[in-house]
Amino acid sequence: MDEISLGVPEPLLESLPEEGSAAARDMQRAVEGFNERVNHHVETADDDAEAAKGVLDVIEHLEARSERFDEFVPELRAWGQSPIYAIAWRNLYADLVAQLYDYEWLATQLDRERNFRLVDDGIRLSDL
């Protein structure tokens, strides 16, 4: 299994206002933390399927965070405030998920694990 390497996309950093250097540092620190968590799951797993279980937990966390920041955007606009930071964090989390799916060996296992969790939760295709 290959080591996973996540990063903050340069266009996202460039989209931040000039006074957003603290946000850029926070994003880089957050990505480092997620990178460590993902690699921990990959390194300690016995096989690809087990690694995917841990990585999918991280992905679900990222997706939940992305949704939370997405909910802030209209609220900030309604209050006349700029939602640029909420949008940047939302986009960062979505991009991190995409970066994880860029690893072909992992993407296949992630899809299998997602499908397993859907069925395990009692959701059947006939219910859709």
E strands, 1-128, are none
Q: pLDDT tens digits for 31-45?
A: 999 999 999 999 998
pLDDT at 128 over 60: no
Residues whose CB is less than 8 angstroms from the CB of residue 59 and which lie 6 or more positions away in sequence, other chains included: 97, 100, 110
pLDDT at 121 over 70: no
Reference 114, options 64, 77, 59; nearest CA is 59
1 close to 54: Cβ distance less than 8 angstroms: no
Reference 42, options 117, 115, 111, 100; nearest CA is 100
43 close to 52: Cβ distance less than 8 angstroms: no
119 close to 91: Cβ distance less than 8 angstroms: no
Question: Percent of the chain at pLDDT above 90?
Answer: 71
pLDDT at 2 over 80: no
Record the tokens describing residue 61, joined without a space: 């966390």
